Structure 1
Amino acid sequence: MNAIDLFSGAGGFSTGAQMAGVNVVWAANHWPEAVEWHSRNHPGAQHLCQDLHQADWSKVPAHDLMLASPCCQGHSKARGKAHGNPQHDASRSTAWAIVSAAEYHQAPVAIVENVPEFLNWQLYRPWELAMNALGYSVSPHVVDAADLGAPQNRIRMFLVLTRTKAPLKLDLPRLNHKPASGFISFDSGNWSMIEKPGRAKATLERVRAGRAAFGDRFLISYYGNTKIGRSLDRPIGTITTRDRWAVIDGDRMRMLDRFECRAAMSFPDSYQLPENHRLAVHLMGNAVCPEPVKRIIQAVKEAA
């Protein structure tokens, strides 16, 4: 089975597909850094760095599976989704490239990943009708990455589009959750003292609450609604495109390093990352978790 990857980013969709035995033959993204690192990790695929609204689909290889993760910022609660915001409107419009590619290639199966709010998009119904007009049935699946093998609670929507009369409802497993303790090291990283001049009051309050709930070792979030920290016995919370999670160990703390972010996203240890921490975290936080992708594609194969 051959696949193409639209909005390929750091390569989570492609990596999960490879883990499921799929050959990724082509990948595209408008962000040069993402294309560079995708090509390093997937050298066998053709790569295109372009706004996919302008893509020439006749130059894209034939494929059995289209993977697509259009921009989610215009839908996400975290980034806001107000109508009339030009940046967010442009973000949401990237989904129409999927329709264009499907119209030309008529791939038997497509899988689209986004935040669940994609289903509430004002133009979702017209988008779905466009895919129906091309012969696709659309089946939404909202999943937590932790249920499908990633050590991270990350709620995402996967649309399974098949050229069948009825939507394909997948029988997905619910795996035992992997704890954050499985990938966090207390023997490495850049630690600093918690009680130091300039430390934010909100951070100190989170640490105090976390100690009361979990003892000396736990996680805290630097932003969001987490007030009391998070147990290392649970999957970590959502990895984002900027530093979010700090590890607490007694009287010291540090942010997750890039390799821990990679592990939290369920990428293999061999997956290459840039040395620049900020860029690596951005790439990982913007990616799709490979392990859930593997399970979803396996379920599609079994149901076909």
Structure 2
Amino acid sequence: MPTFVDLFCGAGFGARGAVRGGGVPLLGLDAWNLATETYKANFPQADTITEKIEDVVPKTLGRKYRPDVLLTSPECTSHSIARGAKPGLETSRETAIGIVPWVEAMEPRWVIVENVNRMKKWDRHDELVQTIEGLGYAVSDLLLNSADFGSAQARKRMFLVCDRKGTTVGREDLLGLVSTPRKTAYDIIDWEADYPATLLRKPGRAPATLERAERAIAELGVGVPFLIVYYGSDYAGGWQTLDVPLRTVTTVDRFGLVTWKGDTPYLRMLQPAELLLAMGGATEHVLPHGNRRDKVKLCGNGVCSDVMTAIFQWISLNQAKQQDAA
């Protein structure tokens, strides 16, 4: 069973997928205390450290932890399309380059780097890949959509899957390990819960919200539930149907669910428990710490579990083949 150290661990959604794929967590590191507290609640056998990565000495931890896999998800805000036209901060983006000393200190067989797909346009992306290759790793540079791996969310991310023994993996190889059916936004909604909802067309409702809703109603008709999509770049009128995967979960409230009582539409926001399902957390992952806003942020900062499950299944298969050959 491959052991792993989890840098930028967040609430542990990537680790949840890794564990489902056969992995064993040794350490989770994150700068946000609510993230590490949530990680510890879900993986009590793992150690946690609440520090910025630049404040931790990799060589010191490298003497204690020798994982099979180094799992990393560097800060992605400076690459994200959600920034709009704002310029990226190079100091933020260089957290990706900052993983190199950790690779050198821990010498894992596998290294996984997850980030937004726009990181490929970063002028140091090739430098990062070449640096990892220079340490003796074969690098598979992949763009993967979590919806293809069984998530109820369309979350497109770059994954560098790096093997010191020269094995590469393709998208189709990973998809061949997926046995779960495709899910949609409908699947994550708790239709039984009595979450508070208000009249869609109530006085004071933001005009932009009403415009999105009226466009959806005009197309779908009365009585059909749908989602209003707030924030970020949107190319579909600010709403989506429930028969496709949820759009990308972000760190702020983004999705309003419109339901009906007769001919009257009501609106409520999706809840953290529903976003947790969209991240692939299922029922075994918990968010016991923080307020509602914190829990939404924990979800938006995460790695979809289902993609990581496939990657770790592939790693576990390779590890088993190596042991059989020995």
Per the normalisation by structure 2, the TM-score is 0.87
More displaced stretch, 178-187 vs 281-290: 178-187
> Hey, what does 1:52 align to over in structure 2?
53
From 242, 256, 259, the counterpart of 1:249: 259
Q: Residues of 1 paired with 2:310 and 2:9: CA distance? A: 18
1:77 paired residue among 81, 86, 89: 81
Q: Secondary structure at the match of 1:24?
A: strand
Distance 1:229 1:239 in 2: 14
State the match for 1:296 in structure 2: 311
User: What is the CA–CA distance in structure 2 between the aligned matches of 1:275 and 1:30, rounded to whole Å?
Assistant: 15
Given the alignment of the two structures, is residue 230 of structure 1 paired with residue 240 of structure 2, yes or no? yes
Q: Which residue in the other structure is 1:127 paired with?
A: 128
Task: Write the distance in 2 (CA, Å) between the matches of 1:109 and 1:37.
Answer: 25
Query: Can you give the 5+ residue segments of structure 2 that lack an aligned partner in the other structure?
Result: 320-326
Q: In structure 2, what is the equivalent of residue 151 of structure 1? A: 152
Task: Please tell me the residue identity of whatever aligns with 1:101.
Answer: W
For structure 1, which runs of at least 5 residues remain unmatched after alignment?
A: none
Separation (CA, whole Å) in 2 of partners of 1:54 and 1:127: 21
CA–CA separation in structure 1 for the residues paired with 2:130 and 2:18? 27
Q: 1:82 and 1:206 mapped to 2: Cα distance?
A: 25
Matched, 1:267 2:281: yes
1:199 correspondence with 2:205: yes
Structure 1 counterpart of 2:218: 212
- Structure 1 residue 82: Cα displacement: 5.9
The residue type paired with residue 301 of structure 1 is S
Distance 1:165 1:249 in 2: 52
Structure 1 residue 185: Cα displacement: 2.5
- The corresponding residue for 1:179 is 184
Contact 1:76 1:115 in 2 (8 A): yes
Matched-pair identity in %: 34
Q: Is the 8 A contact 1:152 1:265 kept in 2?
A: yes
| Inter-partner Cα distance in structure 1 for 2:84 and 2:141 | 22
1:269 to partner: Cα distance: 1.7
Report the Cα distance in structure 2 between the residues aligned to 1:133 and 1:183, rounded to whole angstroms. Answer: 43
In structure 1, what is the Cα distance between the partners aligned to 2:78 and 2:241?
A: 31
CA distance in 1 between partners of 2:266 and 2:49 (Å): 44
Instruction: Supply the distance in 2 between the matched residues of 1:43 and 1:176 (Cα, whole angstroms).
Output: 30
Q: Pairwise mapping of residues 80-99 of structure 1 onto structure 2 (< 5 A)?
A: 80=84, 88-99=89-100
Bigger mean CA offset, 160-169 vs 13-22: 160-169
SS at 1:128 equivalent? helix
Q: C-alpha offsets along residues 115-166 of structure 1, whole Å, 9 cap, x if unaligned?
A: 1111221112222222122111211111110000110111111110111346
Report the Cα offset of residue 99 of structure 1.
Answer: 0.6
Runs of at least 4 residues off by over 6 Å: none
Question: Is the CA contact (8 Å cut-off) linking 1:146 and 1:152 kept in structure 2?
Answer: yes
Question: Mean Cα displacement is larger for which, 68-77 or 53-62?
Answer: 53-62
Cα distance in 2 between the residues matched to 1:199 and 1:82: 29
Within 1, Cα distance between the matches of 2:204 and 2:94?
43
CA drift of 1:80 comes to: 5.0
Distance 1:235 1:37 in 2: 26
State how many pairs are aligned: 301
- Residues in 1 aligned to 2:190 and 2:167: alpha-carbon distance in whole angstroms: 47
The 8 Å contact of residues 3 and 65 in structure 1, kept in 2 or not, is answered as yes
Shift of residue 214 of structure 1?
2.6
| RMSD, matched Cα | 1.8
Query: Is the Cα contact below 8 Å between 1:183 and 1:263 reproduced in 2?
Result: yes
- Structure 1: distance between partners of 2:110 and 2:147: 25
Letter of the structure 1 residue corresponding to residue 250 of structure 2: T
- SS in structure 1 opposite 2:40? helix
Tell me, yes or no, if the aligned pair for 2:110 and 2:163 is still in contact at 8 Å: yes
What's 2:322 paired with? Answer: none
Contact 1:73 1:81 in 2 (8 A): no
Q: Against the structure 1 CA distance between its residues 275 and 55, is the aligned structure 2 distance closer, same or farther, given a 3 Å change threshold?
A: closer
Other structure's SS at 1:220 match: strand
Q: 1:166 to 1:138 in 2, by over 3 A?
A: same
> Equivalents in 2 of 1:289, 1:166: separation in Å?
24
The 8 Å contact of residues 138 and 160 in structure 1, kept in 2 or not, is answered as: yes
Alignment CA distance shift 1:142-1:270 (3 Å): same
Q: Secondary structure at the match of 2:250?
A: coil
